[in-house]
C-alpha cells in the first residue's frame, strides 16, 4: 500500500552533505525526510575518507619502525598482519558509524527511509511504497569510482576504493591505475604495509597541486620503493590465473608490467542513474547535475550538493554546500552562494601535501608576473629538526601588494597547517597579518610566520631601508 508523506524538505542521499542538511533542517523545526538506498554515511564513512585514513595510519605506524634517524632507537622491519590491519580499518568505521546512524537521525526528528528514490514529478519523489511531496528537495547522491574502457580490463577483477578495503590477503604487487590523491595514498599505504607497488598515469602524478611540492612527494615515494610510470598510455590489460599484466607505452616504446592485484583510481562519476531527473525538470550532464552558484538546479525548488553537483569532489565541500542550503531553505537567505577561492585540499601522503587558493602556476596565468612567492623550509624549523621531519616546505603566493592568493605546503602536518591560510584567503587578508601573528615556539606552525616574514626580506634589508634607518637614528629617542 502506497503511503503519501508531505514534508518541508526531502534529501536524497545520506552521505556527508545529505546528513548535514538533514540534521540542520530537522533541528530547526522543518519536517525532514531523508532517503538512502544503501549504507548511512555514504562513501566517506564506508569506502572513502575514513577507511583510507585508517589504513594510512597503520602504514605510518609500520614505517616508524623502519626509521633510523634518531640515535639510540634501533630500526627494524615490523611484523605486519595484513588481515588484522583491515580489522583496524573496519573497527574505525564502526567507531564513527553511530554518528551517521539511522537511529541518531531519527532521534533528531528526521524521517529516514531506506529505499531508492526516483522523481515522478517536479515536486514528488517515490521511494519504495512511499510517495514524498516536499517544498524543497536536495539531491546528495554522491559519486562512484569509474573503471575506464581499457582493452582487456575486466571490471569485476579490478579493485576500486569501493572494494579495496575488503581485501584481506596482502597483495604481492599492487598495480595502481591513476596518480591522483586516491591512487597515491593507496600506493604509499600498501608499500609501507609490505606490498610491491607500481603506479601508472597518463599525465604526471597530483597535477592540481604545486608541482615543486609534488616533486618532494614524488621523491619520497620513489625512495620508499614505489615504482612510478608517469606520462604513459595503457594499451591493454591481461588478467591471468596468477594476477594481471599491463601493457604500457611511453615515448613510442611498449613494455609489460605484471602484478598480483589491480586497483583502478582513475576518476569518479556522479550518481544520477535511476533518479528520473527528467520527470522533475532537472538538467544534468556527464560531469553532474547542472547547478547555479546557489546550488539550485533548473528546477528552482530542487538543489544538488556534493559530488553529484559536478563541482570539487571533497567531503568538506559537501559539508560546505550543506550550510549554503540551510541558509537558503531555513533562513530564506537566497543570496547565499558558493565561493571556492579559499577551498583547501590535502593529499595524506607522508609527507602530506596541502593546497588552498591558487598555485604559483595558476596565479601567473591569472595575474601575470607581478605576483610574489615566499618560501620557507622545514629544515629551518626547530620543531621539525627535533622530530627529524625536515622534508618539505611552504610556498605562499600573493599579488604585488601582499594580498594572499594561495598557499602550498608539503611536509609534516601540512593538512593542519593549511587552515591558517584558508582563513586568511577567506577574509581577504594580506600577508602582513600573518607576519604580525605571535606563533608559539617550538611548533611546526612557525613555518607560516617565517614564510610571511620572508616575503618582506628583499625590501626590509635593502639599501633604501638601511638609509631610512640611519636617518631615523638622528632623531631624539
Q: What is the pLDDT of residue 44?
A: 95
| DSSP, residue by residue, 292-333 | -TT-B-SSTTEEE-GGGGTS---HHHHHHHHHHHHHHHHH--
Specify the pLDDT at position 183.
98
Residues of the chain with pLDDT under 70: 460
Q: What is the pLDDT of residue 458?
A: 81
pTM here is 0.95
Burial (Cβ within 10 Å: 0-12, 13-18, ≥19) of residue 399: middle
Rounded to 5°, the CA angle 243-247-253 comes to 150
In this structure, the number of other CB atoms found within 10 A of the CB of residue 467 comes to: 10
d(CA 477, CA 475): 6
DSSP string covering 10-72, please?
Answer: EEE--SHHHHHHHHHHHHTT--EEEE-SS-TTHHHHHTSHHHHHHHHHHHHHHHHHH---STT
| Integer Cα distance of 234 and 79 in angstroms | 35
In the beta sheet, which residues pair with residue 177? 200, 264
Residue 163: closest CA among 47, 307, 268: 47
Cβ-count burial 267-305 (b if 16+ within 10 Å, e if not): ebbbbbeebbbeebebebeeebbebeebbbbebebbbbb
Q: What whole-number distance in Å separates Cα of residue 181 and Cα of residue 185?
A: 6
Per-residue pLDDT, 42: 95
pLDDT at 18: 98
Query: Which phi-psi region, left, alpha or beta, contains residue 397 (left: φ > 0; alpha: ψ -120 to 50)?
Result: beta
Give the domains, in start order, of the chain with CATH numbers.
3-40+101-145+269-331 (3.50.50.60), 155-266 (3.50.50.60), 344-463 (3.30.390.30)
Q: Where are the beta strands (DSSP E) in 202-351?
A: 227-230, 233-240, 243-250, 253-259, 261-264, 268-270, 284-285, 288-289, 302-304, 344-347
For residue 460, the model assigns a pLDDT of: 67
* Rounded Cα gap, residues 170 and 153, in angstroms: 22
How high is the pLDDT of residue 457? 86
Burial of 128 from C-beta contacts in 10 A (0-12 / 13-18 / 19+):
middle
Joined grid coordinates for residue 310: 559536478
> What pLDDT score was predicted for residue 476?
86
Taken in order 90, 92, 96, 100, the sign of the CA dihedral is negative
pLDDT at 1: 81
Q: Which of 13, 12, 3, 7 is nearest to 29 (CA)?
A: 7
Amino acid at each position: 500500500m502506497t503511503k503519501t508523506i508531505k514534508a518541508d524538505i526531502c534529501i536524497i542521499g545520506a552521505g556527508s552533505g545529505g546528513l548535514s542538511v538533514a540534521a540542520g533542517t530537522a533541528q530547526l523545526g522543518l519536517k525532514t525526510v531523508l532517503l538512502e538506498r544503501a549504507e548511512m554515511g555514504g562513501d566517506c564513512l564506508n569506502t572513502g575518507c575514513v577507511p583510507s585514513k585508517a589504513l594510512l595510519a597503520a602504514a605510518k605506524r609500520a614505517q616508524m619502525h623502519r626509521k633510523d634517524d634518531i640515535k639510540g632507537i634501533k630500526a627494524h622491519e615490523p611484523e605486519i598482519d595484513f588481515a588484522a590491519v583491515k580489522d583496524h580499518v573496519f573497527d574505525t568505521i564502526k567507531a564513527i558509524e553511530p554518528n551517521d546512524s539511522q537511529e541518531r537521525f531519527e532521534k533528531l526528528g528526521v524521517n529516514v527511509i531506506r529505499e531508492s528514490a526516483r522523481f515522478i514529478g517536479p515536486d514528488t519523489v517515490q521511494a519504495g511504497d512511499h510517495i514524498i511531496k516536499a517544498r524543497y528537495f536536495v539531491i546528495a547522491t554522491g559519486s562512484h569510482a569509474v573503471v575506464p574502457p581499457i582493452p582487456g580490463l575486466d571490471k569485476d577483477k579490478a579493485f576500486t576504493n569501493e572494494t579495496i578495503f575488503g581485501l584481506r590477503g596482502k597483495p604481492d604487487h599492487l598495480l595502481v591505475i591513476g596518480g591522483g590523491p586516491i591512487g597515491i595514498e593507496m600506493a604509499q599505504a600498501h608499500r609501507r604495509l609490505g606490498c610491491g607497488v607500481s603506479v601508472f598515469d597518463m599525465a604526471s602524478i597530483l597535477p592540481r597541486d604545486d608541482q615543486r611540492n609534488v616533486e618532494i612527494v614524488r621523491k619520497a615515494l620513489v625512495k620508499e620503493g614505489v615504482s612510478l610510470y608517469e606520462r604513459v598510455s595503457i594499451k591493454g590489460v591481461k588478467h591471468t590465473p596468477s594476477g594481471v599484466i599491463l601493457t604500457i607505452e611511453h615515448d613510442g616504446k611498449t613494455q609489460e608490467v605484471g602484478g598480483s592485484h589491480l586497483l583502478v583510481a582513475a576518476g569518479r562519476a556522479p550518481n544520477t542513474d535511476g533518479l528520473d531527473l527528467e520527470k522533475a525538470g532537472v538538467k544534468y550532464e556527464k560531469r553532474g547535475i547542472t547547478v547555479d552558484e546557489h546550488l539550485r538546479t533548473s528546477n528552482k525548488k530542487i538543489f544538488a550538493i556534493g559530488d553529484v553537483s559536478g563541482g570539487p569532489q571533497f567531503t568538506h565541500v559537501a559539508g560546505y554546500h550543506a550550510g549554503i542550503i540551510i541558509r537558503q531553505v531555513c533562513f530564506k537567505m537566497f543570496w547565499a552562494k558558493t565561493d571556492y577561492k579559499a577551498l583547501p585540499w590535502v593529499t595524506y601522503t607522508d609527507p602530506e601535501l596541502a593546497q588552498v587558493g591558487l598555485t604559483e602556476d595558476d596565479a601567473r596565468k591569472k595575474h601575470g608576473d607581478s605576483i610574489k612567492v615566499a618560501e620557507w623550509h622545514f629544515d629551518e624549523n626547530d620543531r621539525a629538526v627535533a622530530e627529524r621531519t625536515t622534508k618539505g616546505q611552504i610556498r605562499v603566493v600573493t599579488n604585488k601588494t601582499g594580498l594572499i592568493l594561495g598557499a602550498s605546503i608539503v611536509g609534516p602536518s601540512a593538512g593542519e597547517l593549511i587552515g591558517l591560510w584558508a582563513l586568511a584567503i577567506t577574509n581577504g587578508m594580506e600577508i602582513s597579518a600573518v607576519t604580525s601573528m605571535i606563533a608559539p615556539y617550538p611548533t611546526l606552525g612557525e613555518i607560516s610566520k617565517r614564510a610571511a616574514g620572508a616575503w618582506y626580506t628583499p625590501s626590509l634589508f635593502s639599501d633604501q631601508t638601511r638609509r631610512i634607518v640611519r636617518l631615523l637614528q638622528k632623531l631624539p629617542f
